[in-house]
Amino acid sequence: MKKNILILVCLGILVVLPNLVLADCVDLGSFTSFSVTGSNRVTLYWMNKPYVRFDVQSGIDPASNLQVIKGYVCDGDEVLVDGFRSTILNVTSSIGSSTD
């Protein structure tokens, strides 16, 4: 009985708070460059290899100045785009994957 209740509680949390439970967090470390796909998808590179992808809430272009506020980020954290705070969305580690 206790096991069934525990399973139901875990499933309830997964359904009610999917962003919190499934959020991907990554260590940004020090990136050497970045690229922009579309108007808000950012890929960070280290030594010409992509290792982190995320979307930003506001628009960003390749000439923008991108500054990270902290080294370890999750969905909902912020970066500075041209001096203005922008929320990070859909953070994924992209080590070993191909670029867009």
pLDDT digits (tens, 9 = 90+) for 23-61: 578 887 778 888 998 888 999 898 888 888 999 988 888
pLDDT digits (tens, 9 = 90+) for 78-100: 999 999 999 999 888 865 544 44
- What's the token pair of residue 15? 């359904």
State residue 14's pLDDT score: 60
Q: State the sign of the Cα–Cα–Cα–Cα dihedral 5, 24, 79, 55.
A: negative
Stated pTM of the model: 0.68
Q: How far is CA 44 from CA 3, 34, 49, 93, in A?
A: 43, 4, 8, 10
